[in-house]
Amino acid sequence: MNTAATTGLDLAGKVAVVTGATLRQLGVGIGGATARMMAGRGAKVVVADLEEDAAQALAEEIGAAGGEAIAQRLDLSDPGSIKALFERAVSAYGTVDILHNNAAAVLAKDTTLIDLEIDVWDAMFDINVRGYALASQHAVKLMLQNGGGAIVNTSSVSALGGDITRVAYGACKAAINALTIYTATQYGRQGIRCNAVCPGFTLSASAKGGITDNALEILGRHTLTPYLGTPEHLAEVVTFLASPAAAYITGQIISVDGGLLSHHPQTHDQLVAAGA
């Protein structure tokens, strides 16, 4: 059992597993920023991703900055690979206190309902839902031995508002929201908290690399904050939810979206201009 005393945002002595955590040429994503922040607050971090070299680069960067991290290749579609991740965490650091379930596959062929191929639906669910559930299962078993722990799942605003494409992605994220409340409900009394964050558009390395200026302008116009989100905005919330400072927060689905989904279409100015 990990007995290191922690208060507030301090994660000293805690062991965290963060999936989808890499450092690439364009920078970090949400998992990478979270791993950096958790290590900065004292956690020993296992960074895991399909792209092993990019995960290794992040672990080395954290180590060079004085933190503690190791990298592990993970394929969330493979139950054996998920098991190996938690075995590695235990052999390196003794247990797992925190899980940030964050990796995700976004397949180009995930489009509209009637165009969707069954293999694409199944592949998306294997990685983005079954993978999260299996990782949670391993983490919960270890946390039960420790007397508690915290899981934060990365969901999406795509679970809350429909889109003209990516129907499987949206359904996967809605399933992650359900997994979150069931995990919180079934293990809350044993000291395990589970919450989800729903990012709005976030300027992660991969999102930056794949978006047009026009799409950025549209997203900016529909976000209430005068800026778009960064991986660090998400990492702040995830790290808080994983910390003792959030001891009374569980079973929550928290949008971190700059208010993207919290308003009507903004027609007021146009109506006034039209004399309405």
Ligand X SMILES: NC(=O)c1ccc[n+]([C@@H]2O[C@H](COP(=O)([O-])OP(=O)(O)OC[C@H]3O[C@@H](n4cnc5c(N)ncnc54)[C@H](O)[C@@H]3O)[C@@H](O)[C@H]2O)c1
Residues interacting with ligand X, by CB under 6 A? 20, 22, 29-31, 49-51, 74-77, 102-105, 127, 154, 156, 199, 201-202, 204-207, 231
Cβ proximity to ligand X: between 6 and 17 the closer is 17
CB of 13 to ligand X, least distance (A): 27
Query: Do 13 and 42 form a contact (C-beta atoms < 8 A)?
Result: yes
Query: Do 22 and 31 form a contact (C-beta atoms < 8 A)?
Result: yes
CA distances to 37, 77, 82, 86, 95 from 141, in Å: 25, 20, 14, 10, 10
Closest-by-Cβ residue to ligand X is: 29
Cβ proximity to ligand X: between 67 and 258 the closer is 258
What lies within 8 Å, CB to CB, of 32 at 6+ separation is 21, 22, 23, 47, 58, 205, 231
- Residue given tokens 């301090």 in the structure block: 10
Question: Alpha-carbon distance 47 to 21, whole Å?
Answer: 6
Cβ proximity to ligand X: between 104 and 140 the closer is 104
Cβ proximity to ligand X: between 146 and 156 the closer is 156
DSSP letter at 229?
B
Choosing from 169, 187, 227, 248, the catalytic residue is 169
169 among known catalytic residues: yes
CB of 187 to ligand X, least distance (A): 22
- Total Cβ atoms within 10 A of residue 210: 10
CB of 105 to ligand X, least distance (A): 4
CB of 102 to ligand X, least distance (A): 5
Q: Which two tokens stand for residue 27?
A: 């920078």
Enumerate the active-site residues. Answer: 169
